[in-house]
Structure 1
Amino acid sequence: MTAPPRQTRESIISAAAKLFYDEGIRRVSVDAIADEAGITKRTLYYHFESKDDLVAAYLEQRDQPSFARFQQWFAEAEGPLPERIRTIFIRLAAFARHPKWKGCGFLRTSAELANMPGHPAIKIGAAHKRRVEDWLAGLFEAEGLGEPRMLARQIILLLDGAFAVVLLNRDPGYMETAGDAAATLVGAASSRLQPAAAGA
């Protein structure tokens, strides 16, 4: 019995996601993805015009779950805003301690496609990072912090820098250190509100 087209497409993306994250997009062939998905290469090309389209679909599939995970970690965290931001980094450090962790799929893909700035996967990765930045800026603005966009960019730099350094050194402690720095930045922005609040 033939699987429905949507189920087949999702099966292909799932197989590609596993291989791309484990081995990198350039090392994985279309034949390997078809084998992993248990289909023919012809079937794969029926659903995706090219490997580039499949790479884009892989990142698109990661976008919402990754973003929702950040939101969930923040929502579950306790304490003032700086500690809740720090929690995101602490939870990421726990992920990085898993033996199968290989960094941020969006950053790794962008590195592999650095010479192809117009690639659809690059655009999806950039949109994902902007979405996280917009969310952070919204949190900071809601708290009344000054320059919420600049603060959000600083946290993004700490976040993505930590991804790179942890992957390079295989030491999740760098992610926790980045979390300390993020909490310090947010705490400093929060403290600047106190005089204004006292004089109101």
Structure 2
Amino acid sequence: MTVEAAPAKDRILDAANRLFYSEGIRAVSVDAIAAKAGLTKKTVYYHFKSKDDLIEAYLMSRDQPNLTLFRKWFEEADGRLAEKIEAIFLNLAMSAQHPKWKGCGFLRTAAELANMPGHPAMKVGAAHKKKFEAWLSDVFDSYSVAKPDELARQIVLLMDGAFSTMLVHRDPAYIEEAGKVAKCIVDNASA
């Protein structure tokens, strides 16, 4: 199906994904999204009652694909639990080398909406981060690691710190180093 043949709502969401991720949510207007989707602004507002609803839908559309990718990287990695966790970071480092990589869309959106804690997108972002943390905790629990919730939180802190530092320095080595630390933490917890 060509972009033009895709349903209008899908075209709008695709355009919003591309523009919000590459340029930021505040920098992108509804006019720009409509133009990128090849539709009118009126059509955008027919499907999304406000830009805030579109921002929320943008993050919701990224939720499951991101979580699925992390699970895939974990499952495809060889080795012990610690090496499988490190593999998530190593795959992120490889992704970060792509010229279009702009970091974590959830964290970038949260930074742009920091003065709006009740914004629907902030709730979607928080839920996404909690789902990842819960998945890690379940993984650690299935490997009989002591205090799986605490370990999951530590890994999330490392990952989000690595995302932020990577955006500042534009050097994937920071994510690789965070992966090494994650591996050590998981090894120690598994011992």
- State the TM bucket, normalised to the shorter chain: over 0.9
Q: Which residue of 2 aligns with 1:48?
A: 48
Counterparts of 2:130 and 2:10 in 1: how far apart (Å)? 26
Alignment of 1:1-200 (within 5 A): 7-191=7-191
How far does the alpha carbon of each residue in 1:140-180 deviate from its partner, in whole angstroms, 9 at most, with x for none?
A: 11111111000000000000000000110001000000000
- Write the letter of the residue equivalent to 1:181: V
Aligned-residue CA RMSD in angstroms? Answer: 1.1
How far is 1:8 from its partner?
1.0
Q: Give the number of aligned pairs.
A: 188
Distance in 2 (CA, whole Å) between partners of 1:63 and 1:8 is: 21
SS in structure 2 at match of 1:102: coil
Give the counterpart letter for 2:17 in structure 1.
Answer: A
Partner of 1:197: none
How many Å apart are 1:111 and its aligned residue?
A: 0.2
**Cα deviation, residue 7, structure 1:** 1.6
| Bigger Rg, which one | 1
Q: Give deviations 1:65-91, integer Å, cap 9, x for gaps.
A: 000000000010000000000000000
Return 5+ residue gaps in structure 1 as ranges.
192-200
The ranges of structure 1 where at least 4 consecutive aligned residues each deviate by more than 3 angstroms after the TM superposition are none
Residues of 2 paired with 1:121 and 1:176: CA distance? 29
SS at match of 2:58: helix
Identity within the alignment, %: 58
Work out the CA distance in 1 between the residues paired with 2:22 and 2:74. Answer: 28
Q: Which consecutive unaligned segments of at least 5 residues does structure 2 have? A: none
Distance 2:130 2:40 in 1: 37
